[in-house]
Amino acid sequence: MIDVRDVSRSFGRTVALDHVSLRVEPGEIVALLGPNGAGKTTASRIIAGILAPSSGDVLVDGISVRADPGRVRVRCGMVTDQPSLYERMTLRAYLTFFCHLYDVAEAGPRTEELAELLGLTDRLDQRLGAFSRGMKQKVAIARGLVHDPPVLLLDEPATALDPETARSLRTFIVSLRARHRAILLCTHDLDEAQRIADRVVVLYRGRVAREGLTGVLRAAGPPRFVVSFTGEIAAARDALASVGVTAEPANADNGHAALRFDADEPGTTNPAVLRALLDGGLRVITLTREERSLEDAYFAIVAEAREPETRERNG
C-alpha cells in the first residue's frame, strides 16, 4: 500500500510538490494525471525512495521513506517513460544483473520467467541495442518486476508502444491488480487511464486539484446530449442559441449533422431544444445522452485549477 502524507518537495525556489496526500490500496490502480511539470514524476520518485521529500512522509507497506528508503526501494518496482537500458548488454545479462541487485534468489529462472511473460524468450541472448522501442519498453517493465514488488510505479509505461503492444501492456497491468499489487500509473494518456484506473488523482502545479473514483469524476458536470438532424449546422446552432443553449458540432453515428450540448435540467431544456429545431425547419433524427469521457473531466478540472491565475493575469 502507498500512503503519501502531506508531502512537499522543492528544487531551489521551484516547488515541485506542495502538500500532496494520496493513497493507493493493494489491488488498486490509481492514475496520477496532470500537465507537464505538475509533479507526477517527482511524486513517483519520492514514493520509490530515490528522492527525499522536503516535508511530509510516504509510507510504503507501512515503511517510512524518510526512515528507511532502502527497504522502501525493495518493495517498489519502477518503470520509467524512457526504457533507459544498458544497450551493450544482452537481455539475459541485463535482467540477471538487476535480479542480483535486488537479491533475487533464483536469478536465472526468474529472468527466463519474465522473458516468457513478456514474449521475449527468443531474444534472451541478443543485445538490447538491437531491440525495437516497444521491446525495450517491455524490458524496462521486466526490470521493474524482477523482485515481484508489491508496489508498482509506472511512469508513462506505454510511451511509443504500438496499439497492439499497448493493449497487451494494459491487460498485463490489470492482471497485476488481480494479484493485489498497488499500482500508481503516471500518464498523459487519458484513454488508458479511463480504461484501467480505479481512481484518478489530478495534479496541477504540485497540488492535488481533484481526486476521486474514475467513474465519479467522469460523471461530474451537467448531463450532456447529442442531437442529430438534417439541415445546416449553423442554422441549428442559431436555433439552439435562441433558447439559451450553447452547442458545439459533434459526430453522429448515423451520418447526419449533430450538435452537442449540456443540459442542467434535461426535462426543461431538451423539449425546448427540439421545439427550436423543428420551428427552424430542421428534421430531428435522434436525441441521445452522451457519456462524458475522462478527458472532458480532466480538462474541466485543469481549467478550474487554472482559473485563479487566469483571473490574476487579467487583473
Q: Which parts of this chain interact with other proteins (CB under 8 A)? A: 11, 45, 48-52, 69-71, 73-74, 76, 78, 80, 82, 84-86, 88-89, 93, 97-98, 100-103, 140, 143
CB of 284 to other proteins, least distance (A): 55
CB of 69 to other proteins, least distance (A): 8
CB of 252 to other proteins, least distance (A): 46
Residue 14, by phi and psi: left (phi above 0), alpha (psi -120 to 50) or beta? beta
Q: What pairing do the DSSP bridges indicate for beta strands 14-24 and 2-11?
A: antiparallel
Q: What pairing do the DSSP bridges indicate for beta strands 28-33 and 199-204?
A: parallel
Residue with cell 529472468: 111
- The whole-angstrom separation of Cα 88 and Cα 86 is 6
Q: Identify which of residues 127 and 292 has a Cβ nearer to other proteins in the complex.
A: 127
- DSSP three-state, residue 91: helix
- The whole-angstrom separation of Cα 187 and Cα 183 is 12
Q: CA 174: distance to chain centroid?
A: 13
CB of 127 to other proteins, least distance (A): 8
Q: Which three cell numbers stand for residue 166?
A: 499497448
Q: Identify which of residues 86 and 299 has a Cβ nearer to other proteins in the complex.
A: 86
CB of 164 to other proteins, least distance (A): 26
Q: Identify which of residues 102 and 172 has a Cβ nearer to other proteins in the complex.
A: 102
CB of 42 to other proteins, least distance (A): 9
DSSP assignment string, 104-171: -S-HHHHHHHHHHHTT-GGGTTSBGGGS-HHHHHHHHHHHHHTT--SEEEEESTTTT--HHHHHHHHH
Residue 45 · residue 16 · CB < 8 Å: no
Q: Within the chain, where are the H helices? A: 40-47, 69-75, 91-101, 107-117, 133-145, 163-178, 190-196, 214-219, 233-242, 266-279, 294-313
Q: Identify which of residues 78 and 305 has a Cβ nearer to other proteins in the complex.
A: 78
Q: Identify which of residues 45 and 199 has a Cβ nearer to other proteins in the complex.
A: 45
Q: Identify which of residues 103 and 312 has a Cβ nearer to other proteins in the complex.
A: 103
Q: Identify which of residues 73 and 177 has a Cβ nearer to other proteins in the complex.
A: 73
CB of 82 to other proteins, least distance (A): 5
Q: Identify which of residues 71 and 237 has a Cβ nearer to other proteins in the complex.
A: 71
Please tell me what DSSP assigns to residue 292. P
Please tell me what DSSP assigns to residue 15. E
CB of 206 to other proteins, least distance (A): 15
